[in-house]
Amino acid sequence: MKAQLGQKAPLLSVSAWVQGTEVNFDRLLGQVVLVEVFQVNCPGCFLYALPQAVELYRKYSEHGLAVLGVATAFEDFDKNNLENLIRLAEHGEVVGETLRVLSQQGKLSAGRLPYRIPFPLAMDRLVRHRGEVTDNVVINFIQDHIPDFEQQSKAYQQQIRQQVLSYLQSLDCHAETFELFELKGTPSQILVDKKGILRDCAFGAYPELETRILGLMQE
């Protein structure tokens, strides 16, 4: 069953914990939980989302906030993988577009992150696709991601169907946690309250994140 706001958060589905103790929502009751979902090959994740998560961890980890990082993959599977996540965790190494953009902007020190990610890190569970992409799979994807699809012209609908089909056929595998929480991309933030209830799933920049966390901590 897909995750639903206001309901008990389903457990994260991960293939490996590469840093910190293996943990999940059922073991963090009594704490507010922030899950930062990112891709290794995602410059925006490293420009603002992960630094924000690190800062929140430093400020509130001793006051009731648990922060977890989950690396996922929905593209660039040759870069968004377990091997590169381990390199990030152990040595602060980044790859691909992340390396290029952070280097251009002077965000690296000797080619590596100038800070260590201090919270537990895990790799999303990736499952290889089996069989062909059927019409039902395409339709379900469109219904989940394009709510106004039926209001579009027939020509536009056909164009979207073909684009979705091509996209799904290009995927080597699907990421279970990413799909379970119906995330829209990376970076994304999952917020779970002290009772284990899913309170938010946000995509992109989240300037109000600290305020939202403080409100949940006070409940």
Q: What is the mean pLDDT of residues 109-116?
A: 93
- Provide the percentage of residues in the chain whose pLDDT is more than 90: 74
Whole-model pTM: value is: 0.82
Per-residue pLDDT reduced to its tens digit, 48-81: 999 999 999 999 999 999 999 999 998 888 899 9
Residue 103, in any domain of the structure: yes
Together in a domain, 39 and 100 = yes
- Domain of residue 155 covers 130-170
Average pLDDT of the chain?
92
Which of residues 103 and 165 earns the better pLDDT score? Answer: 103
Mapped onto helix, strand or coil, the DSSP state of residue 38 is strand
What's the per-residue H, E or C state across 110-176?
A: CCECCCCCCCCEEEECEEECCCCCCHHHHHHHHHHHCCCHHHCCHHHHHHHHHHHHHHHHHCCEEEH
Inform me whether the pLDDT recorded for 127 exceeds 70.
Answer: yes
Together in a domain, 140 and 120 = no
Q: Say what the pLDDT of residue 172 is.
A: 64
Together in a domain, 164 and 198 = no
Q: Say what the pLDDT of residue 170 is.
A: 62
pLDDT band at 142 (very low <50, low <70, confident <90, very high): confident
Together in a domain, 28 and 68 = yes
Together in a domain, 55 and 148 = no
- Return all residues near 86 (Cβ < 8 A) that are at least 6 apart: 18
Together in a domain, 117 and 159 = no
Q: Which segment, 108-117, 136-145, 164-173, is predicted with the most confidence on average?
A: 108-117
Per-residue pLDDT reduced to its tens digit, 157-185: 888 888 887 777 666 678 999 999 999 99
Residue 5, in any domain of the structure: no
Inform me whether the pLDDT recorded for 8 exceeds 80.
Answer: yes
pLDDT band at 19 (very low <50, low <70, confident <90, very high): very high
Residue 9, in any domain of the structure: no
Together in a domain, 73 and 143 = no
Together in a domain, 68 and 119 = yes
**Domains of the chain: total:** 2
Residue 79, in any domain of the structure: yes
Residue 154, in any domain of the structure: yes
Residue 4, in any domain of the structure: no
Beta bridge partners of 19: 121
Q: Say what the pLDDT of residue 140 is.
A: 85
